[in-house]
Amino acid sequence: ILWLGTTDGVKSFNIKTNSFFGFKTENHNDIKGIAGAGFCFEPTETEGMWIGTFRGLHRYDPYKQNVKKTKINLPNSQPNWALSDICFQSGENRDSIIWFDIGYESFFKYDIIQNKEVPTPSKLKPYCEKVFPFTLYIDSRNILWLSSDLKGFVGYDLIADKLILPNFNIGQNDKPKILKMEEDESGNLWLGTTSGMYIYNPERNEISEQKDIRLFLDKNKLSDYAFRFTIDTKGKVWIFSTQKYEEDDALYSFDPDSKECAIFLQDEYPPLKILKSLEGITPISSDKLMITSFNGFCVVNTSKASPTFELFDVYNEKPLGGFKNCITDHKENVWMSSD
């Protein structure tokens, strides 16, 4: 790469492809641009390249993590609307189409390349607009699943343009409020609700409660809430609950093959006791889970028969806290967010 300082801004020239690339910008906050005409360049081994322009000193690092804010343009939108459950629709050019929900409002389809809302398919529109969303999920078969307060639970085949209305095999019980979904290796959807754990079987197009978990909750006097959960790489389900009539959270696991459950109480595991309010859980490797809380986070090692818990509540002698959601990227970094 040949770097050029011009009166029209800093440019680079790729000698192999004979192509130019411009970095000109008037905005100092533009993380991908360099303001001003280029005067001098100083490459380093560890800090990328320092570039001097008449607008100041800049550092170019090809490996840096760029964060770009995209303003979502929605009709009648409010500045304090919070986007939730963002899912990319696969098969689109450059993965430009996303689906997301805004609590107490609607589900939306959006093109982040064109930066505009995309019309919702007509047959799906009644299940999207002003329905008070809970959550959404796109499974491996390209089925978009929507859960809302006003319209309940519905699926939409993004390829075949077809609605899927599951049957509820739950007797006389009220339909559960589905607050989280995850797919297992068999293609079943695990549905975390405020009244237990349910499973959607795509072959039967049927939803039923996981009875082994129901028996375990009743036996151990645990809350019915089962929407804080994850599925690890071995297929085991890990769920947060609360001990009835008490404030302490509890962690329990369920093995779908053996039907065995195991419980991990805060009084018996000091790291969980320090974390107190358990917020998020996700697998971060083949034998590790991450648990977040407002008092820090911990890593759960599941490689042995009994898991171990490693607490992280202090960093550089400063307390850690405020963590809620967590997710891993393709480079095995763990990202956490806070309220």
pLDDT digits (tens, 9 = 90+) for 181-200: 999 999 999 999 999 999 99
Task: Tell me how far apart the alpha carbons of residues 22 and 268 are, in angstroms, rounded to a whole number.
Answer: 59
Task: Tell me how far apart the alpha carbons of residues 324 and 28 are, in angstroms, rounded to a whole number.
Answer: 32
Is there a contact between 105 and 130 (Cβ–Cβ < 8 Å)?
A: yes
320-335 pLDDT tens trace: 888 888 888 877 888 8
Instruction: Tell me the longest C-alpha to C-alpha distance in the chain.
Output: 76
The residue type at 272: L
Task: Tell me how far apart the alpha carbons of residues 87 and 123 are, in angstroms, rounded to a whole number.
Answer: 20
Q: How far is CA 147 from CA 16, 89, 227, in A?
A: 51, 17, 13
Helices marked H in the chain — which ranges?
211-219, 270-275
Mean pLDDT of the chain: 89
The pTM score is 0.80
The DSSP symbol for 329 reads -
In the predicted model, what is the mean pLDDT of residues 6-14? 86
DSSP string for 288-311? EEEEEETTEEEEEE-SSSS-EEEE
Task: Tell me how far apart the alpha carbons of residues 118 and 227 are, in angstroms, rounded to a whole number.
Answer: 30
How sure is the predictor about 65, in pLDDT bands with cuts at 50, 70 and 90? low
18-61 pLDDT tens trace: 888 888 888 766 767 888 888 888 887 766 788 888 777 877 77
Percent of the chain with pLDDT over 90: 56
pLDDT at residue 66, as a whole number: 61
136-146 pLDDT tens trace: 999 999 999 99
How sure is the predictor about 297, in pLDDT bands with cuts at 50, 70 and 90? very high
More confident residue, 111 or 150: 150
pLDDT at residue 26, as a whole number: 81
Grouping H, G, I as helix, E, B as strand and the rest as coil, residue 248 is coil
Q: Which residues of 97-128 are buried (b: 16+ CB within 10 A; e: fewer)?
A: bbbbbbeebbbbbbeeeeeeebebeeebeebb
Nearest to 51 by CA among 60, 20, 24, 66: 60
pLDDT at residue 23, as a whole number: 85
Task: Tell me how far apart the alpha carbons of residues 320 and 329 are, in angstroms, rounded to a whole number.
Answer: 22
